[in-house]
């Protein structure tokens, strides 16, 4: 158990289709993590719904005190660019056959 004042690092691996409902579920989990450093791993996501992307970007880019510090990996290039434009850190991930040639 980490001491007070230190940050626990956690990874949340997403799978399936990222639609609006799933994005809100992720947002809720992020709020429950406190001051943890989180990595959202999108490498197992099979598809992205436009509304789900909008909800996720809005939730990740909204400034909130006392919420988790989030970075993302395994994101397809088009979504990675949207995340960077919104100021959301995207960590380079190993090549994934679905997202890159």
- Let me know if 30 is exposed, middle or buried by CB neighbors in 10 A (0-12, 13-18, 19+): buried
Q: Domains of the chain: which residue ranges?
A: 9-85
Verdict on whether the full-model pTM lies above 0.75: no
CA 34, chain centre distance (Å): 15
Burial class (CB in 10 A: 0-12, 13-18, 19+), 20: middle
Residue 74, pLDDT above cutoff 70: yes
Name the average pLDDT for the chain. Answer: 79
Lowest mean pLDDT among 42-46, 59-63, 66-70: 66-70
Instruction: Render pLDDT for 1-29 as a digit per residue (tens, 0 to 9).
Output: 444 444 557 888 899 999 999 999 988 88
Say if residue 58's pLDDT is above 50.
yes
- Residue 89 phi, psi dihedral angles, 5° rounding: -65, 130
In CATH terms, 9-85 corresponds, of 3.40.50.200, 3.40.50.20, 3.30.750.24, 3.90.1300.10, to 3.30.750.24
How sure is the predictor about 30, in pLDDT bands with cuts at 50, 70 and 90? confident
Output the six-digit token pair for 33: 């993590």
The pLDDT score that the predictor gives to residue 5 is: 44
């Amino acid at each position: 158990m980490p001491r007070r004042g230190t940050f626990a690092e956690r990874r949340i691996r997403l799978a399936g289709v990222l639609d609006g409902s799933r994005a809100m579920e992720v947002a809720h989990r992020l709020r429950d993590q406190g001051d943890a450093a989180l990595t959202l791993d999108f490498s197992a996501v099979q598809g992205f719904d436009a509304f789900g992307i909008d909800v996720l970007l809005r939730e990740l880019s909204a400034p909130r005190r006392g919420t988790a510090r989030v970075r993302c990996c395994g994101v397809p290039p088009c979504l990675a660019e949207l995340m960077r434009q919104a100021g959301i850190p995207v960590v380079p991930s190993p090549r994934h056959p679905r997202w890159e040639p």
